[in-house]
Amino acid sequence: MFTIRKDINWNEPHQCLIIGVFDKPAKLVGLAKEADEKLDGQLTALVKDGDISSKKKAVSRIHTLGRLGTKKLLFVGLGKEKELTFESLREAFGKALKSLKDARLTSVSVLIDSFITDELDVLDTGHAFGEAFALANYEFAGYKQKSNEVQKEISEIIVYSDSEPEEVSSAMQVGLIFGKATNSARNLVNIPGNLLTATDLANYSKELASKYGFELEVLEKEDMIELGMGALLAVNQGSEQPPKLIVLKHQGKEEWKDAIALVGKGITFDTGGYSLKTKTGIVGMKTDMGGAAAVLGAMEIIGELRPEQNVVAVIPSTDNMISGNAFKPDDVITSMSGKTIEVLNTDAEGRLVLADAVTYAKQHGAGYIIDIATLTGGVITALGYDMTGAMTNDEALFEQVLEASYEAGEPIWRLPITEKDKERVRGSKIADLNNSPGSAGHAIMGGAFIGEFAEDTPWVHLDIAGTSVSEKATDLGTAGGTGVMARTLAILVERFDMDE
């Protein structure tokens, strides 16, 4: 897809040439300056007059009127050079690429060096472009009848840079891998619950295992009964669909030790059970497996890049339905760990399936645990729709997750777990734990509950209830599933070093 060149032929008929322009002072650099010279300084004049905007994420199209082989030049405003970040650069690329969607192009060219700063080198820039290309062009295919019209898509990207072609190409390919894997996670979140059951999720995981050579284990209901996974089985009681507990292993070291466990909630549809959701609150509950989607997206990146880390992905999957067999408020269930749980809210089911999954991850040698879940509406009340909530029992592990989230552009905010919070979770009069101590500190109660099963193993909990779905399109995607945390988890694994 990427062709890297050092020299440009200005007579070549590029369909569109993408150029970056900085603000204050507005300037064209490198080959962009050469294009300006070919046009007798008219580009500089257009920048000064504001016809080519250098403001952040502004997109300006200029026709060359036959003066160059390229018919159109597309300028991307980058704002002040010192203020340009990887995230803002990626968004600028995304906006520019989205502006070309209706142009029916099959090829674009980019002067990648015109986007470089002192802080962002050509490798950063190449990665940002590759990632933005995948993310901005994503669309969920859906289930409408298809038009017979042939859709044109960009299949070739010609990149001009003075840097080593292999390095530029590699950076762009890695960015593309990150973007495509995020789109895979988005797809999973967007699929309706009747078309993505726990069995379907297991079959998808089998395909990943086959493609990337992961070790695969899928526990069936009978296996769970034998292992005593009473928490996961309780949530599944009302369903006609069998539960699955999916395990994927990537062994990046000679010895299987210090494995990083990625545990993703895989509730394929959540009615709330007998603690039934409202008629409006139940809509969209096909997305309650966003944590599983993030983990599978991360495993796709891990499969492509093969980091030298041991990783175990654990996904507990079922739907949460109502029937004569469904579990009820006031039930007491026994988890795989042996801890008993008083159920006061059947809509607090995510923490139950994660309890058994975290215990099972520890049995697979997890030295570190990160769980990811669309767990609580409380995290939305606390942090809104742009920030993932986080809790932890280990400062060093949390710092690594935090750094990875910054690099991925997927911000997280830490919420506390105090001893009094733990006491509330342990507050049942008839069982070891209570799955719903009340609405106060709702998000914290969910995290504190899962922490009871992580115990002394370093652990971070990520609540993506607010960030897993977007109600509106962005520069890097459509409305719907975001694939949030797939990139953060992959970066964490790639950069993981607890000796720092």
Task: Please name which of 232, 213, 211, 212 lies closest in space to residue 221, comparing C-alpha atoms.
Answer: 232
Phi, psi of 313 (to 5 degrees): -100, 130
Residues with a catalytic annotation lie at 277, 351
3-class SS of residue 101:
helix
3-class SS of residue 97:
helix
Which is it for the CA torsion 220, 223, 224, 225, positive or negative?
positive
Amino acid at 230: G
- Report the 10 Å Cβ neighbour count for 316: 32
Cα–Cα separations (whole angstroms), residue 475 to 103, 178, 182, 197? 17, 16, 15, 31
Task: Please name which of 253, 264, 355, 393 lies closest in space to residue 311, comparing C-alpha atoms.
Answer: 253
Contacts (Cβ under 8 Å, ≥6 apart) of 329: 274, 275, 343, 344, 345, 346
Cα–Cα separations (whole angstroms), residue 251 to 25, 216, 293, 311, 367? 50, 12, 21, 6, 14
Q: Measure the CA–CA gap between 358 and 336, rounded to whole angstroms.
A: 10
Six-digit token string for 14? 């590029």
Six-digit token string for 485? 């945390």
Task: Please name which of 180, 197, 458, 459 lies closest in space to residue 305, comparing C-alpha atoms.
Answer: 180
Angle at 357 between CA 354 and CA 359, to 5 degrees: 110
Side-chain-facing half-sphere of 458: CA atoms under 13 Å: 14
Contacts (Cβ under 8 Å, ≥6 apart) of 399: none
Alpha helices in 111-164 (DSSP H): 122-136
Angle at 199 between CA 234 and CA 357, to 5 degrees: 45
- Report the 10 Å Cβ neighbour count for 284: 13
Helix and strand counts by DSSP (H, E) for the chain: 15, 20
Alpha helices in 141-220 (DSSP H): 165-190, 198-212
Task: Please name which of 35, 14, 186, 19 lies closest in space to residue 103, comparing C-alpha atoms.
Answer: 14
